[in-house]
């Protein structure tokens, strides 16, 4: 008579602990990939006690609220992230709701009532950078994961998570690469470095890259206008700020590709050639980066993965609310294109 397959047998085949295999088979929490591997192996080995109905019932179907602090206008950047979130929820039969909250138009009490009525198991917050709104959002007590965060110091006794890209190191490495390759010495950052955590870290990455290469930098050499009162989408406005600079920089490090595109337009109207007379870099690798001529040096991140990782992080927070707050960093890829390549001109 053939010996019945046991949990121990499955665990040995997968090099997992018996406890992990037992949890996966009984519908308790384990990482989704681990659960899938265990169930597949259990089926292959004809594990007689496998009760897929019980497992399916044991897997919770969460209600997720996606909150954005403003309309997501940069769709080239946000669509893949949202697809990652939506696909993750669809695959697990999670309920996903979306809500845009305007801090200048909507009283928080009304939003709090909406959340109370919806009763989400977890919240994903995207483009939420207002410090006061974030503090109130955290204090609602619902498990929450932020994609990017405020640039201002915020302390809370509530637990939450942040997903970000490795902005500071990315830009620091780029600056050092350009200094080593071309001997550059003057850089200007373009963008509101207090807009959000990622912009601030990109700015700090530029400064650290210059200083680590024995250079010096001063804020008076940057264009850091507050984006609530300055239109970074207006090339003429950027042109005016460039003309105010005491010296023309050898390289403009821009907070993202959108701003970099308008810096390129401003430089063109000033008769300054890119990259021969001034280099320009962006961040995010959206469609505008390759549509420009010359094509834009930038950083690429797997945006759909970022969305999925946000959901993985949030589900872990929902199921383990007492774990410490975490900042999870997703790596980027440096893409050197024509806007920093003088060798091709």
DSSP secondary structure of 15-42? T--HHHHHHHHTT----HHHHHHHHHHH
Q: Is the pLDDT at 159 greater than 50, yes or no?
A: yes
So what's the pLDDT on residue 33? 80
Residue 174: phi and psi, rounded to 5, are -65, -45
H/E stretch holding 189 reads strand 187-190
Cβ neighbours of residue 319 closer than 8 Å, sequence gap 6 or more: 29
Which range (7-21, 153-167, 254-268) has the least confidence?
A: 7-21
Spatial distance between the Cα atoms of 340 and 279, rounded to a whole number of angstroms: 5
Residue 164: phi and psi, rounded to 5, are -145, 170
Please, which residues bridge with residue 96 across strands? Answer: 64
Higher-confidence residue: 293 or 306?
306
Q: Is the pLDDT at 323 greater than 90, yes or no?
A: yes
Most confident of 28-32, 57-61, 152-156: 152-156
Spatial distance between the Cα atoms of 254 and 104, rounded to a whole number of angstroms: 27
Q: Is 27 left (phi over 0), alpha (psi -120 to 50) or beta?
A: left
Task: Produce one character per residue of 99-119: b if its CB has 16 or more CB atoms within 10 Å, e if not.
Answer: eebebeeeeeeebeeebeeee
Spatial distance between the Cα atoms of 261 and 105, rounded to a whole number of angstroms: 31
Please, which residues bridge with residue 161 across strands? Answer: 145, 326
Cβ neighbours of residue 9 closer than 8 Å, sequence gap 6 or more: 45
Higher-confidence residue: 47 or 307?
307
pLDDT in tens, 176-224: 999 999 999 999 999 999 999 999 999 999 999 999 999 999 999 999 9
Q: Is the pLDDT at 263 greater than 80, yes or no?
A: yes
So what's the pLDDT on residue 310? 97
So what's the pLDDT on residue 70? 82
Cβ neighbours of residue 345 closer than 8 Å, sequence gap 6 or more: 275, 276
| Tokens found for residue 170 | 């990315």
Instruction: Give the pTM.
Output: 0.82
| Residue of 334, 32, 16, 342 lying closest to 174 (CA atoms) | 334
So what's the pLDDT on residue 50? 63
So what's the pLDDT on residue 266? 97
Three-state DSSP at 258 gives helix
So what's the pLDDT on residue 31? 77
Three-state DSSP at 234 gives coil
Residue 161: phi and psi, rounded to 5, are -130, 155
So what's the pLDDT on residue 342? 85
pLDDT in tens, 28-37: 667 778 888 8
Spatial distance between the Cα atoms of 279 and 151, rounded to a whole number of angstroms: 27
Q: Is the pLDDT at 57 greater than 80, yes or no?
A: no
Q: Which domains does the chain have, with CATH numbers?
A: 7-58 (1.10.260), 63-165+303-331 (3.40.50.2300), 167-301+334-344 (3.40.50.2300)
Q: Is the pLDDT at 98 greater than 60, yes or no?
A: yes
Cβ neighbours of residue 231 closer than 8 Å, sequence gap 6 or more: 237
So what's the pLDDT on residue 345? 56
Residue 53 banded pLDDT, cuts 50, 70, 90: very low
Residue 305: phi and psi, rounded to 5, are -60, -40
Find where tokens 């308790």 sit: 28
Which range (14-28, 101-115, 240-254, 280-294) has the least confidence?
A: 14-28
CA angle 120, 126, 131 (to 5 degrees): 95
Spatial distance between the Cα atoms of 225 and 219, rounded to a whole number of angstroms: 11
So what's the pLDDT on residue 91? 84
| Residue of 220, 221, 214 lying closest to 175 (CA atoms) | 214
């Amino acid at each position: 008579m053939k010996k019945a397959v046991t949990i121990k047998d499955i665990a040995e085949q997968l090099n997992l602990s018996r406890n992990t295999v037992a949890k996966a088979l009984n519908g308790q929490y384990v990482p989704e990939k681990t659960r899938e591997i265990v169930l597949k192996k259990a089926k292959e080995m004809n594990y007689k006690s496998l009760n897929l109905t019980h497992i399916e019932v044991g897997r919770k179907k969460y209600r997720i609220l996606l909150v954005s602090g403003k309309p997501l206008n940069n769709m080239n950047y946000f669509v893949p992230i949202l697809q990652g979130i939506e696909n993750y929820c669809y695959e697990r039969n999670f309920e996903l709701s979306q809500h845009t909250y305007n801090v200048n138009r909507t009283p928080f009490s009304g939003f709090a009532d909406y959340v109370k009525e919806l009763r989400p198991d977890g919240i994903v917050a995207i483009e939420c950078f207002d410090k006061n709104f974030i503090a109130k959002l955290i204090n609602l007590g619902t498990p929450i994961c932020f994609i990017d965060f405020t640039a201002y110091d915020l302390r809370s006794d509530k637990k939450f998570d942040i997903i970000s890209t490795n902005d500071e190191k990315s830009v620091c490495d780029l600056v050092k690469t350009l200094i080593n390759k071309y001997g550059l010495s003057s850089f200007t950052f373009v963008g509101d470095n207090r807009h959000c955590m990622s912009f601030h870290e990109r700015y700090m990455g530029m400064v650290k890259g210059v200083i680590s290469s024995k250079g010096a930098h001063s804020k008076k050499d940057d264009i850091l206008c507050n984006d609530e009162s300055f239109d970074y989408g207006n090339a003429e406005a950027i042109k005016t700020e460039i003309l105010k600079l005491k010296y023309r920089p050898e390289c403009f490090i821009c907070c993202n590709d959108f701003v970099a595109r308008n810096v390129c337009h401003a430089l063109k109207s000033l008769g300054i050639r890119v990259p021969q007379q001034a280099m320009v870099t962006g961040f995010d690798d959206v469609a505008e980066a390759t549509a420009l001529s010359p094509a834009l040096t930038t950083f690429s991140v797997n945006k759909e993965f970022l969305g999925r990782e946000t959901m993985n992080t949030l589900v872990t927070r929902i199921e383990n609310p007492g774990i410490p707050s975490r900042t999870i960093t997703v790596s980027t890829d440096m893409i050197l294109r024509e806007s920093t390549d003088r060798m091709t001109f």
